[in-house]
Amino acid sequence: MRPPDSNDGDLLRLMSGGDEQAFTTLYRRHQGPVYRFALQMSGKTEVAEEITQEVFMWLMCESRQYQPERGPLLAFLYGVARNHVLRHLERDRAYVESIDDPDSEAADQMASGDDVLGDLTRGERIQLLRQAILKLPPLYREVVVLCELHELDYTEAAAILGCPVGTVRSRLHRARTLLMWKLRASERCPA
């Protein structure tokens, strides 16, 4: 049995040779971030689950395309997930107007005992922010998801998106502006 701290390159080589344990270790290590990225980009748990499965099926067949000198495996998997999400959004242009709350258990855990009104207000703001992010065009949504929600730096996001760092900065600035306008508009005109 392999130690859990084996590096991704070693695990990929073993996986390519048919080692199921290596694949399982890689999956457990990277499934969560890939799933969250797909969920935050699509707004649907079923789409995120499907894309996560597609990413790891793709990895089993195409692991040779990963080049460690270009960056960490997780950044590569974000890029693969991004391509799958964008294809999904293209096929389904009438995507999400509202988001199911897949984190209701997490939201419940965030509730701090007696401040029910404060917790409710915070939950409503989080929901509005999720909806606003989902309404952003995909080019802006993906930089918000990568840089703000997944806390990647501009260089890592640029590598995933295949664009210059300056493009990431300008898209993120524009996305923040759009989010600010959407949130202000929703405060003035509650549904």
What dotted CATH number matches 8-91?
A: 1.10.1740.10
Q: Note the pTM of the prediction, 2 decimals.
A: 0.65
pLDDT at res. 107: 43
Q: Which two tokens stand for residue 30?
A: 């990277």
Looking at this protein, which amino acid is placed at residue 56? F
| Domain positions in the chain | 8-91, 108-188
Alpha-carbon distance 24 to 20, whole Å? 6
- As to burial, measured by CB atoms within 10 angstroms (0-12 exposed, 13-18 middle, 19+ buried), residue 8 is buried
pLDDT at res. 117: 61
pLDDT along the chain (191 residues), means of 10: 68 90 94 94 91 92 87 92 88 46 45 55 74 89 91 92 94 91 71 51
Confirm whether 8-91 and 108-188 share one CATH topology. Answer: no
Alpha-carbon distance 123 to 103, whole Å? 11
Query: What is the number of residues in the chain?
Result: 191
Q: Do the beta carbons of residue 182 and residue 135 sit within 8 Å? A: yes
What dotted CATH number matches 108-188?
A: 1.10.10.10
Alpha-carbon distance 21 to 27, whole Å? 10
Cα 83 to chain centroid distance, Å, stands at: 12
pLDDT at res. 93: 56
